[in-house]
Amino acid sequence: MPQIIPQIEKNLHTSWQKDLREVITDPKEMLQMLNICPDDYLQHFKARKLFPVRVPKSFINRMVKGDINDPLLKQVMPLSQEFVITEGYSLDPLEEHDTVAEGLLHKYHNRVLMVVKAGCAVNCRYCFRRHFPYQDNSPNKQRWQEALTYIAKHSNVNEVIFSGGDPLMASDEHLEWLIKQLEKISHVRRIRIHSRLPVVMPSRVTNKLATILKQSRLKSTIVLHINHPNEINKEFNDALEPLRCARIPLFNQSVLLKGVNDNASCLIALCETLFDIGIQPYYLHLFDAVQGAAHFDVDEEKAKRLANEMLAKLSGFMMPKLVREIAGQPNKTPINLA
Ligand code: SF4
């Protein structure tokens, strides 16, 4: 049988597992790589105790050297503000208590969210799951089996959302096994993969992954998570080629973050660049009020102003929906821009 995905030059991808082993976990080392003297920021490094630092080298390479305010650096730099306890903020802002089997959340009528793998290649400081007890939800084949049994018994579930952590932290072999099990459940029609890994560590997009998705009877989509146009570089764009060749629809969701992307020209540039490389802007999320990340919050009025400015300047099909997740709601809540 002919290879469905054209072979991309071997040297395009280094081994992603090697890149994963080499993620930077010491903020001092990260700042040194950026030619920033770490001595002025030592007091901030204590925030690693609250949420460890993890940043792939590829992502650091996209930051502007010498700029402590670089918008990519701000997303991963631990800060002492993380120790501030803010009223109205929570350890679990989405109240993800809808676990129906080990590592399986059934929040939406026809969709289940499966924690395919604990942990991420990058630890974004604003992550709404920064306090999530991954150790209690660490998936393995036995736990997946419980989730599969639940899905098989619920014929209203036609879409399975692979989540985490980051689901692409799972190996291609494990993903292939899981997808083959889901294929056996006749009412499941789609899988959706929510991942930031291809962005922060493009080597994760392997030909094998694209082939697995292409060959499955289940229709796959990938929802990427890109917040700033500087995250998009040639390495990332080239890495997407196997997915584009496999005709996997690519979407993007961004989080509106103070000091990172809270201006209209940045968001417009992001949407246009996404569209240029074949990624459909999908959601612009208001930040989830997770304890320790209040310094990223952009209030709703400002978010509406930004969205209206985007609406005026962007072609309609490039405009992401401004939404908020409200705990207990069966779907994301659109923000009325009027
Ligand atoms: S990649 Fe997503 S899940 Fe992982 S730390 Fe960042 S925001 Fe959280």
Residue-wise pLDDT tens digits, 274-290: 999 999 999 999 988 89
Q: 3-class DSSP state for residue 235?
A: helix
Q: Of residues 305 and 10, which shows the higher confidence score?
A: 305
CA distance readout (Å), 100 to 107, 158, 187:
10, 16, 18
pLDDT tens-digit map of 189-246: 999 999 999 999 999 999 999 999 999 999 999 999 999 999 999 999 999 999 999 9
Can you spell out the DSSP letters for 98-127? -EEETTEE--SSSEEEEEEES--SS--TT-
pLDDT exceeds 50 at position 3: no
Interstrand relation of 159-164 and 190-195 (parallel, antiparallel or unpaired): parallel
Say if CB 75 and CB 121 are below 8 A apart. Answer: no
Joined tokens for residue 204: 């994760």
Give dist(CA 231, CA 63) in Å, integer: 8
Yes or no: say if 322 and 307 are a contact pair by the CB < 8 Å rule. yes
Give the whole-angstrom CA distance, residue 170 versus residue 53. 20
Q: Which residue has the higher pLDDT, 332 or 208?
A: 208
pLDDT for res 96: 65
Asked if the model's pLDDT at residue 86 lies above 60, the reply is yes
pLDDT in tens, 243-259: 999 999 999 999 999 99
Testing ligand 1's pocket by substitution, the residue of 127, 131, 132, 197 carrying the most ligand atoms inside 8 A of its CB is: 127
Burial class (CB in 10 A: 0-12, 13-18, 19+), 320: buried
Q: Is the pLDDT of residue 179 over 60?
A: yes
Q: How far apart are CA 310 and CA 318, in angstroms?
A: 9
Whether pLDDT at 271 is above 80: yes
What is the per-residue DSSP string for 239-261?
HTHHHHHTT--EEEEEE--TTTT
The whole-angstrom distance between residue 286's C-alpha and the CA centroid of its chain comes to 15
Contacts of 244 (CB under 8 A, 6+ apart): 250, 278
pTM: 0.92
- Does residue 191 sit in helix, strand or coil? strand
Asked if residue 8 has pLDDT above 50, the reply is no
Distance 116 CA to ligand 1 centre (A): 14
Average pLDDT of the residues in 280-305:
95
**CA-to-CA dists, residue 279 to 130, 248, 287, angstroms:** 27, 10, 22
pLDDT at 10: 43
Q: What pLDDT is stored for residue 11 in this prediction?
A: 44
Q: Reply yes or no on whether the pLDDT at 2 is more than 50.
A: no
For residue 200, the ligand 1 atom closest to its alpha carbon is 1
Distance from residue 113's CA to the centre of ligand 1 (Å) = 15
Higher pLDDT, 131 or 299: 299
The pLDDT, as a whole number, for residue 65 is: 98
* pLDDT at position 95: 67
Query: Which residue's alpha carbon is nearest to atom 3 within ligand 1?
Result: 165
Residue located nearest, by CA, to atom 8 of ligand 1: 127
Q: At residue 325, does pLDDT exceed 80?
A: yes
Would you state the pLDDT for residue 109?
A: 87
Tokens of 79: 């800060």
98-127 pLDDT, tens digit per residue, is: 788 888 989 888 999 999 998 999 999 999
Helix (H) or strand (E) holding 285: strand 280-285
For residue 130, the model assigns a pLDDT of 85
pLDDT of residue 131: 78
Question: Tell me, what's the pLDDT at 14?
Answer: 59
Q: Which residues' Cβ are closer than 6 Å to ligand 1?
A: 120, 122-124, 127, 129, 166, 196, 225
Under 8 Å between Cβ of 270 and 226:
yes
Does the pLDDT of residue 1 top 50, yes or no? no
Give tens-digit pLDDT for 31-83: 999 999 999 999 999 999 999 999 999 999 999 999 999 999 999 999 999 99
Ligand 1 centroid, distance to 235 Cα (angstroms): 20
What is the structure's pLDDT at 4? 44
